[in-house]
């Protein structure tokens, strides 16, 4: 397994629990996955699109995360009155538990979690080699310094910063989270989101290649002005976190030479990781590896 973010650690944990021998190779524990608090949100954006396979993803994540860390239940989406009809139409026929309140849509089994304790808990007991991967050649992993690892099956879960290793293209979207002094136990999301000590959102355009991101002053201003609309005030913050999302099309598990790529979840990595970890296990159990 190349990568120790939520994609790699989630999958490694599921494979390990199923009795498979897994070696995780990573530069560090998480990267984009160190976004301080992660929403687990089945109804996306300002248009209220219901995520593909949201029902399966919700079931898988509730079976998985609470075994490691607390998951705070519920997300409030303060949808403007004028848009509620369109949102209701999108939810029709879907099995996404929700209730409409005066304030907006309350998603009862959506939620959020703190990522750092989760990554550490998932890593416990796994075999992890901290090293830099320079090249993948079939199922051979070449490390900095010339060392090579020959795997039975390679799983690439190296996220945005490692994407050049597999050459699948995709979109890279930089973004930031302000670490607020206030603690938001109730997650709210419309335009931007607040949850825990996080105020985050998607503001900057996509790019075709990965570049390290640092929070820009205009991003801070945008986050605070959107927070004003969401909360009615601008929360105080002490620091910021910056990262890059990596988005492929909706097939997040792809065959590649030597194994699979498990990556490209965009802003929904924590939402889909448990479902795709199960799918990877199924593929490996069915396959002729
Ligand atoms: C502002 C912002 C807000 C977000 N909010 C949410 C949210 O609310 N909910 C949500 O689900 N997602 C959210 N995301 C997205 C989420 O953070 C990421 O998409 C996700 O964590 C990616 O996980 P990953 O495991 O694929 O990759 P990463 O966490 O980036 O992990 C990559 C791993 O690969 C390793 N690696 C990479 N290259 C190499 C190499 N050459 N050699 C060795 N190791 C290597 C790294 O060390 C790391 O261990 C947000 C992202 C941003 C930027």
Domain encompassing residue 170: 6-43+113-286
Question: Do the beta carbons of residue 41 and residue 267 sit within 8 Å?
Answer: no
Residue with tokens 């290649």: 209
Number of domains present in the structure of the chain: 1
Q: Which of 32, 40, 145, 160 to mutate to test the pocket of ligand 1 (most atoms within 8 A of CB)?
A: 32
- Whether residue 187 is contained in a domain is answered as yes
- Whether residue 166 is contained in a domain is answered as yes
CA torsion sign, 248 to 265 to 159 to 237?
A: positive
Question: Do the beta carbons of residue 196 and residue 114 sit within 8 Å?
Answer: yes
CA-based nearest residue to 195, from 75, 51, 50? 75
Atom of ligand 1 nearest to the CA of 241: 1
- Whether residue 49 is contained in a domain is answered as no
Task: Read off the CATH number of the domain in which 157 is found.
Answer: 3.50.50
β-pairing verdict for 49-50 and 43-44: antiparallel
CA-based nearest residue to 177, from 223, 235, 230? 223
Q: What is the pLDDT of residue 289?
A: 56
- Whether residue 75 is contained in a domain is answered as no
Q: Which residues contact 198 (CB under 8 A, 6 or more apart)?
A: 35, 36, 37, 177, 178, 179, 180, 184
Q: What is the pLDDT of residue 226?
A: 98
Q: What is the pLDDT of residue 249?
A: 87
**Smallest CA separation from ligand 1 atom 7, residue:** 38
- Whether residue 78 is contained in a domain is answered as no
Question: Distance, CA 209 to ligand 1 centroid (Å)?
Answer: 15
**Smallest CA separation from ligand 1 atom 2, residue:** 175
Q: What is the pLDDT of residue 166?
A: 95
- Whether residue 24 is contained in a domain is answered as yes
- Whether residue 62 is contained in a domain is answered as no
Which pTM value belongs to this model? 0.97
Low-confidence ranges of the chain (pLDDT < 70): 288-289
Atom of ligand 1 nearest to the CA of 213: 53
Question: Distance, CA 245 to ligand 1 centroid (Å)?
Answer: 7
**Smallest CA separation from ligand 1 atom 20, residue:** 33
Question: Distance, CA 159 to ligand 1 centroid (Å)?
Answer: 5
Q: Which of 2, 4, 33 to mutate to test the pocket of ligand 1 (most atoms within 8 A of CB)?
A: 33
Q: What is the pLDDT of residue 17?
A: 97
Q: Which residues contact 113 (CB under 8 A, 6 or more apart)?
A: 37, 38, 40, 65, 69, 70, 71, 72, 270
- Whether residue 203 is contained in a domain is answered as yes
Exposure string for 231-256, b = 16+ CB within 10 A, e = fewer: beebbebeebbbbbbbbbeeebbeeb
Tokens representing 3 are 């990568």
Tell me how crowded residue 289 is: count the other CB atoms within 10 A of its CB.
12
Q: What is the pLDDT of residue 188?
A: 98
Q: What is the pLDDT of residue 251?
A: 84
**Residues in contact with ligand 1 (CB, 6 Å cut-off):** 3-8, 26-28, 30-33, 35, 38-39, 132-133, 157-162, 175-177, 200, 243-245, 263, 265, 267-271
């Amino acid at each position: 397994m190349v990568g120790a973010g939520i994609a790699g650690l989630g999958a490694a944990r599921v494979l390990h629990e199923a009795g498979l021998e897994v070696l995780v190779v990573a530069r560090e524990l998480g990267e984009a996955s160190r976004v301080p608090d992660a929403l687990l949100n089945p109804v996306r954006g300002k248009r209220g699109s219901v995520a593909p396979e949201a029902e399966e993803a919700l079931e898988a994540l509730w079976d998985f995360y609470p075994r490691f860390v607390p998951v705070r239940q519920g997300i409030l989406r303060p949808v403007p009155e004028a848009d509620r009809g369109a949102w209701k139409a999108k939810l029709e026929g879907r099995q996404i538990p929700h209730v409409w309140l005066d304030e907006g849509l309350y998603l009862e089994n959506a939620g959020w979690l703190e990522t750092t304790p989760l990554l550490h808990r998932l890593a416990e007991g796994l075999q992890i080699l901290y090293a830099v991967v320079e090249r993948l050649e079939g199922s051979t992993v070449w490390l900095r310094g010339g060392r090579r690892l020959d795997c039975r099956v390679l799983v690439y879960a190296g996220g945005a910063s490692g994407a050049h290793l597999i050459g699948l293209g995709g979109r890279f979207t930089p973004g930031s989270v302000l670490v607020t002094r206030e603690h938001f136990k109730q997650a709210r999301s419309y335009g931007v989101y607040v949850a825990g000590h996080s105020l985050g959102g998607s503001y900057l355009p996509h790019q075709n290649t990965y570049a390290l991101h640092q929070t820009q002053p205009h991003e801070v201003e945008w986050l605070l002005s959107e927070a004003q609309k969401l909360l009615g005030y601008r929360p105080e913050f002490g620091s910021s976190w910056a990262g890059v999302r990596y988005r492929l099309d909706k097939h997040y598990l792809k065959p590649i030479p030597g194994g699979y790529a498990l990556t490209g979840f965009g802003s929904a990595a924590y939402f889909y990781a448990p479902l795709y970890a199960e799918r990877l296990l199924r593929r490996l159990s069915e396959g002729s590896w």
